[in-house]
């Protein structure tokens, strides 16, 4: 890269990392980059500062201001400490939970963070080993802490690590605290970071919290009797080398399942994720070893959790006995269908129970909720928004489940983030319930489509890298706002929702306010034939995302192939209309 001005800027920035404020290992890495004639790595590591965003930090590990390392993690923790000491100034003892997953350096960053919190007078509950993200959320609430962090990059590739920040309700931080923390983090210099911990303020926690959490997870079982009848349900599970290995097999056992088969090679804690290309349970490739084991033992269900065990991916046999993946929309739909149907059947449903989905998740969930007279709420993408709905109704209404199309689900309110531990356990119960009726999970999905209508969801990512790409994405969003489509895929647009202006407009031009907590750069179009298109720029990657949902009818389970083919034609027509 021959941009001399940029090279000069990053060289000056990098040379500051050769001072005694930084350790020898980091200095050696920076020196190597400076001496390398190819300046690509140097530029990438120093051309900007890794931003502490509303969800915390996420980035590639290494030396540099745009990398995850002990100094960027240290600045985040020092800034959060400063904000906590400011926010809870009158409190005798501020406390936090610190957790971490299987990633390389996660334990190191967690221990350094614990030292920094304690050096700032904050009591720390530090997990003794890797734990699922939802257990960190649970522990914050259990210990009555003011905040907490988990060191994880979720399902990102092995080069990445990250830092999830939580508030006192166990949910990821929302306004005004998110902006307050960001402001404090941005003020921190390396000299401000208090690395020398006060070990009197650090309490190591582990199995005691595990058991409390597992007992609470078990309390959400809707039909324990069906599990007793189907305790031999054949389950294949993989943690993809991550934190799920600690608790998910134990949770399944506590629920009463006796035939749990873990993929042995992937039960090994390893931040290099040697058996997968990417540790993402959304990807078919990540489940290939689990499916191979399932075929070998003729299992009933395959389930996988990502490295921090907050999301679940699954596969089951179709009507021909072939293993197929259940996508994120179908996952959320199946969970909520089962919860509603069986809470009603068991006499557990209350008139003020409610569920939540995100605005880009399938509208079929609303059809199920409406038909069963259950309140459904829409929230923005991200579990902090689902957690907000739980908090707003605490003590007045009971949350019974919620999720999003990106494979996250939360079946309980004692955790305030998506939870693969409870989701895997509940999934096993759904499969037991299906098997009790001589059905599979796939049959349950077909039953939903026959009763409530068929729906097909497709996400299209249009990647636009770099500064010019960001400008192009902005221009695309501006154009959609200035020139909204009149028809999409051959069907007239009947409703437009603009979450930036918080207005919705019908075909007559009549506008009404959208009731959302804040504005967001999302557009939605609804057409007369039931199609829904959501458009939004990604908050973390250089792309614009199109979520397409088309509707169809299914008279019988065997009609699925035809309904799917018709829906695919509609999807193609929509793509053509939108030029994607």
Is 268 in the same domain as 406?
yes
- Rounded Cα distance between 465 and 544, Å, is 10
**Percent of the chain as helix, strand, coil, to the nearest 5:** 40, 20, 35
CB contact at 8 A, 279 and 242: yes
Report how far Cα 134 is from the mean position of its chain's Cα atoms: 11
Report how far Cα 572 is from the mean position of its chain's Cα atoms: 28
* HEC per residue, 410-449: ECCCCCCCCCHHHHHHHHHHHHHHHHHCCCCHHHHHHHHH
CA separation (Å) from 545 to 41, 360, 361, 478?
29, 11, 13, 15
Boundary (domain end) residue, out of 205, 221, 240: 205
- Non-local (6+) Cβ contacts of 323 within 8 A are 291, 294, 295, 302, 315, 316, 317
Is 148 in the same domain as 275?
no
Helices (H), 102-168: 106-119, 133-142
Boundary (domain end) residue, out of 423, 452, 481: 452
Is 264 in the same domain as 372?
yes
Can you give the CATH number for the domain in which 490 is found? 3.30.310
Predicted pLDDT of residue 539: 72
Is 435 in the same domain as 574?
no
* Helix H or strand E encompassing 310: none
Helices (H), 309-419: 328-345, 364-371, 383-392
Is 160 in the same domain as 18?
no
For the four alpha carbons of 231, 305, 239 and 55, in that order, the dihedral sign comes to negative
CB contact at 8 A, 155 and 311: yes
The conformation of residue 2, written as its DSSP 8-state character, comes to -
Predicted pLDDT of residue 280: 95
Whether omega before 476 lies within 30 degrees of 0, making that bond cis, reads no
Is 532 in the same domain as 557?
yes
Which residue is it, tokens 């078990």? 218
What's the total number of domains in the chain? 4
- Non-local (6+) Cβ contacts of 116 within 8 A are 74, 77, 78, 81, 193, 194, 195, 197
Boundary (domain end) residue, out of 452, 473, 507: 452
Phi, psi of 456 (to 5 degrees): -125, 130
Is 335 in the same domain as 362?
yes
User: How many beta carbons lie within 10 A of that of residue 187, not counting itself?
Assistant: 11
Is 234 in the same domain as 336?
yes
CB contact at 8 A, 259 and 428: no
- Rounded Cα distance between 493 and 571, Å, is 15
Active-site residue flag, 81: no
Predicted pLDDT of residue 204: 98
CA separation (Å) from 401 to 23, 354, 374, 383, 465?
47, 8, 11, 12, 37
Predicted pLDDT of residue 219: 98
Is 231 in the same domain as 356?
yes
CB contact at 8 A, 290 and 302: yes
Can you give the CATH number for the domain in which 423 is found? 3.40.120.10
- Rounded Cα distance between 565 and 272, Å, is 39
Is 389 in the same domain as 417?
yes
Is 510 in the same domain as 573?
yes
Digit-by-digit pLDDT tens for the chain (580 residues) are: 457 889 999 999 999 999 999 999 999 999 999 999 999 999 999 998 988 877 789 999 999 999 999 999 999 999 999 999 999 999 999 999 999 999 999 999 999 999 999 999 999 999 999 999 999 999 999 999 999 999 999 999 999 999 999 999 999 999 899 999 999 999 999 999 999 999 999 999 999 999 999 999 999 999 999 999 999 999 999 999 999 999 999 999 999 999 999 999 999 999 999 999 999 999 999 999 999 999 999 999 999 999 999 999 999 999 999 999 999 999 999 999 999 999 999 999 999 999 999 999 999 999 999 999 999 999 999 999 999 999 999 999 999 999 999 999 999 999 999 999 999 999 999 999 999 999 999 999 999 999 999 999 999 999 988 778 888 999 999 999 999 999 999 999 999 999 999 999 998 889 999 999 999 999 999 999 999 999 999 876 789 999 999 999 999 999 999 999 999 999 999 999 999 9
- Rounded Cα distance between 11 and 30, Å, is 10
Predicted pLDDT of residue 459: 94
Which residue is it, tokens 């926010």? 87
CB contact at 8 A, 550 and 455: yes
Question: Which residue range is the domain that position 30 belongs to?
Answer: 1-42
**Which of the following is catalytic: 154, 251, 491, 577?**
154
The token pair at 421 is 């531990």
Q: How far apart are the first and last CA of the chain?
A: 31
Is 181 in the same domain as 295?
no
CB contact at 8 A, 287 and 325: yes
Among the listed residues 262, 260, 257, 261, the one whose alpha carbon sits nearest the alpha carbon of residue 231? 257
């Amino acid at each position: 890269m021959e941009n001399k001005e940029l090279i000069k800027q990053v060289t000056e920035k990098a040379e500051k990392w050769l001072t005694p404020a930084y350790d020898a290992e980091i200095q050696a890495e920076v020196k190597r980059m400076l001496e390398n004639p190819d300046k690509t790595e140097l530029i990438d590591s120093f051309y900007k500062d890794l931003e502490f965003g509303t969800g915390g930090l996420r980035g590639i590990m290494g030396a540099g201001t745009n990398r995850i390392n002990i100094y960027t993690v240290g600045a985040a923790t020092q800034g959060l400490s400063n904000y906590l000491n400011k926010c809870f100034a009158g409190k005798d003892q501020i406390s936090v939970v610190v957790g971490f997953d299987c990633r390389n350096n996660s334990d190191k960053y967690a221990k350094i963070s614990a030292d920094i919190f304690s050096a700032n007078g904050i009591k720390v509950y530090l997990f003794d080993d890797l734990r699922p993200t939802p257990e960190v959320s649970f522990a914050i609430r259990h210990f009555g802490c003011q905040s907490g962090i988990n060191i994880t990059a979720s399902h990102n590739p092995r080069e990445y690590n990250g830092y999830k920040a939580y508030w006192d309700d166990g949910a990821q931080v929302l306004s005004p605290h998110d902006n307050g923390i960001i402001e404090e983090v941005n003020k921190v210099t390396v000299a401000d970071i208090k690395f020398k911990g006060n070990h009197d303020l650090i309490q190591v926690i582990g199995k005691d919290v595990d058991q409390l959490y597992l007992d609470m997870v078990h309390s959400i079982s809707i039909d324990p009797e069906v599990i007793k009848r189907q305790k031999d349900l054949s389950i294949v599970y993989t943690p993809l080398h991550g934190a799920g290995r600690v608790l998910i097999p134990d949770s399944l056992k506590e629920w009463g399942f006796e035939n749990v088969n873990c993929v042995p090679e992937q039960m090994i804690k390893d931040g290099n994720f040697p058996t997968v290309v990417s540790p993402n349970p959304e990807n078919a490739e990540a489940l290939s070893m689990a499916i191979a084991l399932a075929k070998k033992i003729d299992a009933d269900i395959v389930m996988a959790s990502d490295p921090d065990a907050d999301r679940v991916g699954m596969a089951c046999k179709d009507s021909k006995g072939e293993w197929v993946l259940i996508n994120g929309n179908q996952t959320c739909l199946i969970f909520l269908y089962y919860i509603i149907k069986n809470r009603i059947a068991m006499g557990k449903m209350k008139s003020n129970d409610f569920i939540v989905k995100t605005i880009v998740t399938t509208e079929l969930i609303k059809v199920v909720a409406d038909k069963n007279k259950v309140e459904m709420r829409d929230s923005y993408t991200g579990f902090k928004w689902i957690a907000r709905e739980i908090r707003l109704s605490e003590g007045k209404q009971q949350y019974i489940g919620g999720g999003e199309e990106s494979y996250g689900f939360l079946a309980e309110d004692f955790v305030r983030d998506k939870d693969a531990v409870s989701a895997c356990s509940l999934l096993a119960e759904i499969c037991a319930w299906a098997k009790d009726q001589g059905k599979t999970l796939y049959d349950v999905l077909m039953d939903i489509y026959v009763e409530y209508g068929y729906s097909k969801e497709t996400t299209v990512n249009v990647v636009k890298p770099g500064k010019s790409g960001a400008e192009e994405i902005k221009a695309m969003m501006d154009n959609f706002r200035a020139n909204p489509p009149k028809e999409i895929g051959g069907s007239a647009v009947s409703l437009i929702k603009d979450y930036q202006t918080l207005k919705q407009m019908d075909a007559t031009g009549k506008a009404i306010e959208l009731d959302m907590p804040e504005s967001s750069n999302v557009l939605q179009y609804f057409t007369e034939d039931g199609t829904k298109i959501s458009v939004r720029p990604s908050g973390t990657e250089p792309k614009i995302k199109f979520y397409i949902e088309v509707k169809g009818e299914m008279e019988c389970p065997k009609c699925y192939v035809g309904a799917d083919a018709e829906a695919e034609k509609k999807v193609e027509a929509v793509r053509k209309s939108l030029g994607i």
